[in-house]
A and B are shown apart, each in its own frame.
Chain A
Amino acid sequence: MTDTADRLDAQSIQGVVIRFAGDSGDGMQLTGDRFTSASALAGNDLVTLPEFPAEIRAPQGTLAGVSAFQVHISDHDIHTPGDEPDVLVAMNPAALMSQLGRLKSGGTIILNTDAFDERNLEKCGYEVDPRDNGTLDDYIVHEVPMTSLTLGAVEELDVKKRDAERSKNFFALGLISWMYTRPLEPTIEWVNEKFAKVQTVVDANVMALKAGHAFGETTEMFGDQYEVAAAPNEPGTYTNITGNVATSWGMVAAGQLAKLPVFLGSYPITPASDILHELSRHKNFGVRTFQAEDEIAAAGAALGAAFGGHLAYTTTSGPGVALKGETIGLATSMELPMVIIDVQRGGPSTGLPTKTEASDLFLALYGRHGESPLPVVAAYSPSNCFDMAIEASRLALKYRTPVIYLTDGYLANGAEPWKLPDVDSLPDISVSFTTEPNGDNGEFLPYLRDEIGSRPWAIPGTAGLEHRVGGLEKANVTGNVEYDPDNHGLMTDLRQAKIDGIANDIPLAEVDAVDGAKILLVGWGSTWGSIKAATERLREAGTPTDRVHITHLNPFPSNLGDILRAYDHVIVPELNKGQLIQILRGKYLVDAKGVNKVKGLPFTGGEVVEAVESIVAGTSQGVSL
């Protein structure tokens, strides 16, 4: 292939941030995803940020319909999708208009000029063609008639013009692949597999891809090619993984590690549906997926399966958690294991279904009536979703409790390279069903607790252990319906003590520390990458800064209070209006300051750095972006 030869002349760069943007129907997510996969196979470190509208097809050519995919590839360890793109691929005027402000000054723009007609310019509100009035003077602009070049490339095929035009994203991908010396083979292989049923689509896409590549090579428009070398990484086998796939595989793995069949009750909701889709493909693991009639039934079915002895999950996003609240409360009362996975999105209400936010922490912790404590854990990166799915399952099974596991839209759809774990190194999370009576008189006592406060899990089919569980308050030990006031107080305390005791069964919080740091950044969830990047930049700028990231949000690691009290400045960046910070201030009486952003987007590293600097300088008591 030509691309191996090209590499000899390529100019080496440390990394690049590319943003693909176009109409919802232009296939930008696919383009970004393919470029990401090729880069992953080349060994780059990478972080992605897909951004798409909630509408399946917003009106064509409008600002509302712009779909974008940002990918940051690097020859070293990186943590964010990049503050500002170096390169913007804009498939139409709306994409240019909506994305230009993000582009780095002096950055490169590749335009599909065929889309720059009067109608498209008008649709997004350009009165004058931005190519003609100096708007783009600060950038390096490459004008490429991608649509017509694509049509030319596939001319020999018997496809309608409208269909042929749809391959223009592969032309763009071919061009960018040439610029950054990415091999085409993985994409060609993928196209062959994906569109195997329609040979003309395979042919058109491959021809367009090659044409884009050849265009870069033969025109003198682009000058240099660039190469981003592989990032030094620990030896091992890697794959590129998104958070939702990692969560799904974590659920399958947890079933294997627990030696239990997996049951998922779910109702489609953005951005969690992909977990339902992925799990439905793995029935050969004994995984049962139940697409319920609503969110409530999805949680209910999972609880029913848990009573039957399955490792039960329900997956959803914020609105679904609100609906499942009563069932989760029942699970805390019945003390049955189940995991509720909340892929958070912008709220309130329908909010921003396709955008990220981390504003369900209070909902997870407190979103039920009565005293109904439960463990809450959160993943911090796409690949970490695998580990946290297993951890949530471990806690649920061991402590016979519902567990809420939080991810978010950024983790769910974002991708990163993942060093695949050795299956044999994964933890054994199996528990035993109770099979014999546990009472002194040969009776079965369903609420007789063990040393960690967990009750027996005796499943239907076990002779001699027939019992009834319900949402009415239960007498301690026997589990019979009981209204006695003191018993209710006791049961409330026992349920709380069981959850609190989990603090002894989770890792201590680990501080990423340097000498002399008086600043501590405290994060949870998907802000991990941004906070890590910010910490490194602050250190490079001469401000020693420490960092702690909390994966267990209820209960907290037992050393968290001591850690917080050791710093002059405790700063808590969150993608909400200050939820973790309120708990930390209330629980540990530390004067923490918040950095908050609720814009449907993750923090950039730069935003966190600036906010920390202004708080430490005393010019701000907290930053709301």
Chain B
Amino acid sequence: MTDVTLDPTKRGYWTSDQDVRWCPGCGDYGILAAMQFLYADLAADPDTEVSKENTVFVSGIGCAARFPYYMNTYGMHTIHGRAPAIASGLAAARPDLDIWVVGGDGDMLSIGGNHLIHALRRNVNMKILLFNNQIYGLTKGQYSPTSEVGKVTKSTPMGSIDAPFNPLSVAIGAGATFVARTHDLDRKHMMATFKRAHEHRGASFIEIYQNCNVFNDGAFDAVTKRAARDEMMIDLVHGEPITFGAESQRGIVVDNGTAEIVEIADVDSSRLLVHDEGRDDPSLAFALGQLAHDRQSPTPFGVFRQVERPEYTDGVTNQLLAANEQQGPGDLHALLHSGATWDVN
């Protein structure tokens, strides 16, 4: 038998020697497997160059943030909310690296919301995975910034009273150049989505519906359970009219800037929204992101938006090159003598 740890095209090569310590049944296992399988696929793909020494996973704090320990790459498990900032510094210093940021809804949207939006605004070349389980897991079950209003938890025995974030709306609002949604039950979809993010130059943002089977079990069942998928999951395909349903009988129209679900039979086919990821104006992507306003509505999955915009670390590199060209290579003696000087003999 060959040693899978020596074959980059095998999942085992990308798996660290650490025991995975998530709760049995946690959605995180599926996401981890998808990532390890993706890297095995990427290694097998002659058009893609990946290596474990050039790959870094950076995380904050929370259940999801244990992720880097389980990837046989470089990794940093940092502090609550700060992963996008720490990864931004790493990327600016080392634009040669393949960097992923992993965090949960509390990590990314509560304590670290500021860093998330600024990483997206700057368009730093990294892939940001937001494991959205709509609950605080590691601290044992408080409501999160993505929990639905009225959520009864240990910290909200009478129900939560604050409105949740829609992660995609936050990302699109922050100017993200790649925005997608996937879910932990569909490895193929996750792998395809992660791959698209990996190919994107700039900051990629992926919301992953992730089930916390201990503190918020079944949060996404109404949408992502196999039996529900046909009617509840809207598959976004670039250049195609958006349709869904067992008979592809439903579609989307945009009326006064709002995306609405319609029966295709009821509308003129020219009114059906054709998905365009590359549309520069973010308003349609935003409207699609707003479509699923609760956990019982049909919900779009896939790539909402992918546009080109100058990437931050390229800007950093270009300025270094320009300074070198304009001022010449740094000369310490010359720097120290650059002000007015006088001699004492």
Report how far A159 CA is from B41 CA in the complex, Å: 71
B88 touches A297 (CB 8 A): yes
Query: Is residue A428 contacting chain B, with contact meaning CB distance below 8 A?
Result: no
Asked whether any CB of chain B lies closer than 8 Å to the CB of A470, the reply is yes
> Do A284 and B329 contact each other (CB < 8 Å), given the known contacts A293-B85, A330-B79, A460-B53?
yes
Apart from A42-B342, A283-B323, A293-B85: 18 A-B pairs, beta carbons within 8 A: A233-B344, A236-B344, A240-B340, A252-B332, A252-B335, A263-B93, A284-B320, A284-B324, A297-B82, A300-B88, A302-B89, A305-B89, A305-B93, A307-B86, A308-B93, A461-B94, A470-B68, A480-B18
Q: Is the CB of B323 within 8 A of A460?
A: no
Q: Tell whether, in the assembled complex, residue A301 and residue B78 are in contact, meaning their CB atoms are under 8 Å apart.
A: no
Q: Are B93 and A304 in contact (CB under 8 A)?
A: yes
User: Among the interface residues B16, B68, B97, B115, which one has the most CB atoms of the partner chain A within 10 A?
Assistant: B115
Counting chain A residues whose Cβ lies within 8 A of the other chain, the interface size class is: 35 or more
- Scoring A287, A301, A310, A468 by chain B CB atoms within 10 A of each residue's CB, the highest score goes to A468
In this assembly, does B92 line the interface, its C-beta being within 8 Å of a C-beta of chain A?
A: yes
Q: Is B114's CB under 8 angstroms from A297's CB? A: yes
A249 touches B336 (CB 8 A): yes
- Output the least CB separation between A616 and chain B (Å): 38
| Contact between B54 and A307, CB atoms less than 8 A apart | no
Contact A464 B76 (CB under 8 A): no
Using a CB–CB cutoff of 8 Å, the interface residues on chain B facing chain A are 16, 18, 51-58, 61, 68-69, 71-79, 82, 85-94, 96-97, 114-115, 118, 316, 319-320, 322-324, 326-330, 332-333, 335-337, 339-345
Q: Which of B89, B96, B336, B340 contacts A300 (CB 8 A)?
A: B89
- Residues from chain A with a CB closer than 8 A to the CB of B53 are 460-466
Interface of A toward B, CB cutoff 8 Å: 37, 40-43, 186, 230, 233-241, 249, 252-253, 256, 261, 263, 265, 282-288, 290, 292-294, 296-297, 300-305, 307-310, 312, 326-327, 330, 334, 419-421, 423, 459-472, 480-481
User: Within 8 Å CB of A467, what residues of B?
Assistant: 74-75
Query: Looking across the interface, which residue of chain B has its beta carbon closest to that of A286?
Result: B320
Question: Which residues on the A side are within 8 Å of B115 (C-beta)?
Answer: 293, 296-297, 300
**CA of A618 to CA of B324 in the docked complex: distance in angstroms?**
63
Closest 6 CB pairs of A and B: A301-B89, A470-B77, A285-B330, A304-B89, A304-B90, A297-B85
State how many angstroms separate the Cβ of B314 from the closest Cβ of chain A.
Answer: 13
Instruction: Verify A253–B332 contact, CB threshold 8 A.
Output: yes
- Chain A residue contacts of B77, Cβ below 8 A: 468-472
Task: Determine if A284 and B330 form an interchain contact, defined as CB atoms under 8 angstroms apart.
Answer: yes
Which residues of chain A have C-beta atoms less than 8 A from B337's C-beta?
A: 237, 239, 420
Q: Whole-angstrom distance from the CB of B117 to the nearest CB of chain A?
A: 8
Q: Enumerate chain B residues within 8 angstroms of A186, measured Cβ to Cβ.
A: 340
A302 to B85, CA, bound (A): 9
State how many angstroms separate the Cβ of A299 from the closest Cβ of chain B.
8
A353 to B118, CA, bound (A): 27
Query: Are A241 and B323 in contact (CB-based, < 8 A)?
Result: no
Interchain CB contact under 8 A, A468 and B93: no
Across the interface, which residues of A come within 8 angstroms of B339, CB to CB?
Answer: 239-241
> Which residue of B57, B85, B322, B336 is within 8 Å of A292 (Cβ)?
B85
Q: Is the CB of A304 within 8 A of B344?
A: no
Bound-state Cα–Cα, A239 to B54, Å: 45
The reply to whether A460 and B56 contact each other, CB–CB distance below 8 Å, is: yes
> Chain A nearest CB: distance from B15 CB in Å?
12
Which residue in B72, B118, B330, B342 is a CB contact (below 8 Å) of A238? Answer: B342
Q: Is the CB of B114 within 8 A of A294?
A: yes
CA A305 to CA B89, docked complex, whole Å: 5
Partner of B343, one of A237, A460, A464: A237
CB distance from A239 to the nearest CB of B (A): 5
Q: Taking each of A300, A334, A471, which has the highest tally of chain B beta carbons within 10 Å of its own beta carbon?
A: A300
Give the complex CA separation of A240 and B336 in angstroms.
Answer: 11
In the bound complex, how far is the Cα of B85 from the Cα of A202, in angstroms?
Answer: 44
- A288–B92 contact, CB under 8 A? yes
* A460:B97 contact, CB within 8 angstroms: yes
Residues of B within 8 A of A469 (CB): 75-77
Q: Which residues of A contact B340 (CB under 8 A)?
A: 37, 40-41, 186, 239-240
Q: How far is the CA of A471 from the CA of B323 in the complex (A)?
A: 37
B-chain residues with CB within 8 Å of residue A40 when the two chains form the complex: 340, 342
Closest Cβ of chain A: how far from B103's Cβ, in Å? 13
| B71 partner residues in chain A, CB cutoff 8 A | 468
Q: How far is the CA of A468 from the CA of B74 in the complex (A)?
A: 6
CB of B90 within 8 A of CB of A238, answer no
What are 7 of the A-B contact pairs (CB < 8 Å)? A43-B344, A233-B344, A239-B342, A256-B332, A297-B85, A308-B97, A461-B94
Complex Cα–Cα for A330 and B77 (A): 10
Closest approach, in angstroms, between the C-beta of B162 and any C-beta of chain A?
Answer: 23
> What is the bound-complex CA distance between A307 and B51, given in angstroms?
18
Which of A265, A285, A301 has the largest number of chain B CB atoms within 10 A? A301
- The CA of A465 and the CA of B345, in the complex, are separated in Å by 54
In the complex formed, the residue of B with least CB distance to A303 is: B86
Max chain A Cβ within 10 angstroms of own Cβ: one of B56, B69, B335: B335
Decide: B323 and A284 in contact? CB cutoff 8 A.
Answer: yes
- In the bound assembly, the distance between CA atoms of A423 and B327 in angstroms comes to 19
